Amino acid sequence: MCNNGLRWRFGLGTILASWAIITFPLSATAAEEGDDEYGHALDWVPADASLFSTSLQLKRQIDIVADSNAWQAFREIPSVAMVWQMAEMQVMNPDGPAAMFWQLMELPENQQLAAMLGEMFSNEIAFYAAADVEKLIELGAIIQGSKIAPLIQAAFGEADDPNQARLAMIVESIVEDPSLLAVPQAVLAFSIEDEEAAATQLKRLEVLANMALKQSPLDVQVEREEIGESEFLVLTLDGTMIPWEVEAPAGTNIDQETYDSLREIVSEKELTIALGVWNGYILLSIGEDAEHLETLGEGDLLADKKELEYLEEHLEEDVVGIQYASAEVVRSQVIVAEDVDDIVPDLEELINTWDQIPDSMRESLVEDLHSFADDVKGYLPVPGAMTSCTLLTDTGYESFTYNWTPQPRLDASQALEIANHLGGSPIIAIAARGTHNPEDYELLAKWVGKGIKYFQEFGLEELDDDDRELAKKAMDIALPILERIDATTREFLIPAFEDSQSALVIDADVTSKQWHSDMPESFTPLPMAEVALVMGVSDVESLAKAMAEYHQIAQDLVEAIRKENPEAIPADYEIPAPEVNETDDGTLYTWSLGDDLDEQIVLVGAVGEHVAAFATSTNLAERVLAEEPVAEPEALSGAEEPRAVLAGIDFAALIDAIGPWIEYGIRTSVLEGEGLDNDPADDPSQAQDICSQVKTGLEILKCFRSAWSEVTEDEDGVWVTHTVSEFTDLEQ
């Protein structure tokens, strides 16, 4: 009995264990599949998508705004309330222009349409385009003039009208590379819940569209086709439907052969538009055909790409937006080394054929053109893919962007100490650490030198005798000065700034009621923008020597000009020496800007132990010299962690700085510049009403509190931008 019991238990255990072993992979697979279902477009967008974007939880975000105290306060602003009431009266007036609309909305099918449109813009709107979109983006860049070759050729073309020259270049670009006119495979998707209602509305659209097409000169109609397991309305157009003229348009630089080639290229193009309901979405597809819709959601997906894997940790949070761009898409929007190679032959031809260039100059210009192109290419990006997502948080938004484009001139290997020298709580601040590249200055000096050489050898010859003599005298003064500047920069300035950290700080901590003597005095103190450029210093002694030498060079330049032309500069003029003051954190060198300006506005050079700054007020100069951690969000890395860039804006503080000036401007206009130093409470009611409403509007704008971003580099060389935006509602 006992043995039978053991055998029974062993047998049952074996069966259960065997069942578990067999079914565990299936269960795990099911769980994994469940985990991979994001509940949005990443579940089905194909892997060949080069461009992708989806916006999620749209209605929720709108509701947050609509339910906020800020929106209620906006509605209660008297001028807004009046306009709102007038609009409502017009909309609801049974005899008004909207009467026909409300009558139509009484029909059940139109109510269904309104509900469907509401759904379409409530949950998710997604877009993706396949690889052929890259060429279309490249064509767009050519049209905008952001590509070098068409821009140069349009500028130096034979046409009198540069716009016509550019048009000709666009056409020639298409003829040379017909793929630029590719019809991109793109899909716009709207998430819906009521598919039956959407199908009903598509039937209505089919009837209306075909009625409209019958009135058009086009011999086409909308067809209903089954693609995959869904029905779509399909409209197919082609280039032969365009009413081409036989002759090339007059007044353009397009020759007949080029025009005929363009017409042939366009005539061979087909455009297929498909609209249908698929898997909880209304899809609008544009492309040469609609075959890609048959396998939508099958096979390899965009979500499986390594670039999207970087978003995995964030997609479990409250996602409201996802974007992706392939390296090829990024490449199509920027100038890269290959673009420079493409333009060099055109510029070389221009040099050899332009009659305004002396023959003796052509050979050296061509040689320097190739050298300059090689130098420029070293500064151009090697495009990589980019992906990002945006999260909805309790205090606003948080976004993460991953960029595979190398950033060789940024250094994210160590902490950004200069972030502790941004004045504590600046309105705007941008801080960065670059790589130390003395060769950058070498290149600058090289091409400045070549420019001077060309002017001496060729430019002087183009001047008349008097101007040539003046230019030679100017060169006699300038060249020794430039040589001294060059020597000082190499010996002292570059070593002083080897740290390669820099920052731009904008604040408004100083106030005055009258910033300029010609300005009417204000009752309310007015903040003034303060700007500081802050740089990390590696060698304070070298910096001091550089500044002293530059000051002496400037004074010697004054003397040289005065010696050449005594009337140009007064005999007793000298470059003013600064007022020098010591602080706990360094030394301030201050220059006054004149008696007409408030004494708080000055030029200040500030030098501390590890930083130096140029500022427009002693207040800001002292604050950036002092070491104080910047008021950045806790979600960011913090001052002790490695990062290359930190940037932020205190938007609420910006509004606080702008507000008094807006009030000052309103009072100046209403009071016609009189009595601005009186209490605004005594102003005419018109001025008080306007100022009151503007103040309410500004308080609403301050609901956007701040935005801060940092840039770091991960162990794989991917550059990560982390941004935190904070919003706060108005109090009841």
Q: What is the pLDDT of residues 156-172, one digit of tens each?
A: 554 456 677 777 788 88
pLDDT value, residue 31: 33
The predicted-structure confidence for 350-362, as pLDDT tens digits, reads as follows: 888 888 888 888 9
Is the Cβ–Cβ distance between 514 and 521 less than 8 Å? yes
Burial of 400 (0-12, 13-18, 19+ CB in 10 A): middle
Is residue 450 in some structural domain? yes
Q: Is residue 723 pLDDT above 80, yes or no?
A: yes
In a domain, 607, yes or no: yes
Burial class (CB within 10 angstroms; exposed 0-12, middle 13-18, buried 19+) of 643: buried
Question: Does one domain contain both 268 and 355?
Answer: no
Rounded distance, CA 620 to CA 603, Å? 11
| pLDDT for the residue 35 | 44
- Stretch 593-617: mean pLDDT: 95
The dihedral region occupied by 572, where left means phi > 0, alpha psi between -120 and 50, and beta the remainder, is alpha
Q: Are residues 421 and 543 in the same domain?
A: no
Q: What is the pLDDT of residues 640-683, one digit of tens each?
A: 899 999 999 999 999 999 999 999 999 999 988 788 999 999 99
- As given in the structure block, the two tokens for residue 540 are 């304070």
Region of residue 573 (phi > 0: left; psi between -120 and 50: alpha; otherwise: beta):
beta
Residue 27's pLDDT is 33
Q: What is the pLDDT of residue 97?
A: 77
Please give the tally of structural domains in the chain.
Answer: 4
Residue 384 lies in a domain: no
In the predicted model, what is the mean pLDDT of residues 240-255?
A: 85
Establish if 633 belongs to a structural domain: yes
Kindly state the greatest CA–CA separation across the chain.
127
Distance in angstroms (rounded) separating the CA atoms of residues 629 and 421: 7
The chain-wide mean pLDDT, for the chain, equals: 89
Q: Is residue 653 part of a domain?
A: yes
| Whether residue 107 is found in the same domain as residue 231 | yes
Give the integer Cα–Cα distance in Å for 618 and 585. 13
Q: Per the domain annotation, does 328 fall within a domain?
A: no
Give which of 669, 667, 697, 694 is closest to 682, Cα–Cα.
Answer: 667
Q: pLDDT tens-digit profile of 384-428?
A: 999 999 999 999 999 999 999 999 999 999 999 999 999 999 999
255 with 371, same domain: the answer is no
- Concatenating the DSSP letter of every residue in 10-54 gives HHHHHHHHHHHHHHHHHHHHHHHHHHH--SSGGGT-BTTEEEEEE
Q: Which two structure tokens, joined as six digits, stand for 40? A: 């949005």
Same domain, 287 and 415: no
Give the pLDDT mean for 574-578: 89
SS3 at position 670: helix
CB-based burial label for 22 (10 Å; 0-12, 13-18, 19+): exposed
The structure tokens listed for 323 are 């974007």
pLDDT of residue 16: 30
Tokens read off for 630: 């910047």
Last residue of a domain, one of 520, 550, 575: 575
Beta strand ranges found along 212-269 (DSSP E) = 223-227, 230-238
Q: How confident is the model at residue 248 (pLDDT cuts 50, 70, 90)?
A: confident
**Domain coverage including residue 490:** 438-497+538-575
pLDDT per residue as tens digits for the range 465-497:
999 999 999 999 999 999 999 999 999 999 999
**CA dist 351 to 146, 339, 354, 358, 375, Å?**
22, 19, 6, 10, 19
Of residues 200 and 88, more confidence is placed in: 200
The amino acid at 296: L
pLDDT of the residue at 92 = 83
Residue 506 lies in a domain: yes
Class of residue 657 by CB neighbours under 10 A (exposed 0-12, middle 13-18, buried 19+)? buried
Per-residue pLDDT of 48-68, as tens digits, reads 999 999 999 999 999 999 999
Query: Mean pLDDT across the stretch 129-152?
Result: 73
The CA distances from residue 575 to 34, 318, 476, 551, 587, in Å, are 75, 60, 21, 8, 20
Is pLDDT at 23 greater than 60 in this prediction?
no
Hey, is 659 helix, strand or coil?
helix
- The answer to the question of residue 307 being in a domain is no
Is there a single domain that holds both residue 368 and residue 412? no
Q: Is the pLDDT of residue 69 over 70?
A: yes
pLDDT at 449 over 70: yes
CB contact at 8 A, 202 and 276 = yes
Do 245 and 357 share a structural domain?
Answer: no
Q: Clarify whether residues 493 and 351 are in a common domain.
A: no
Verify that 543 and 531 share a domain, yes or no.
no
Mean pLDDT over 87-106 rounds to 82
SS3 letters across 415-482: ECHHHHECCCCCCEEEEEEECCCHHHHHHHHHHHHHHHHHHHHHHHHHCCHHHHHHHHHHHHHHHHHH
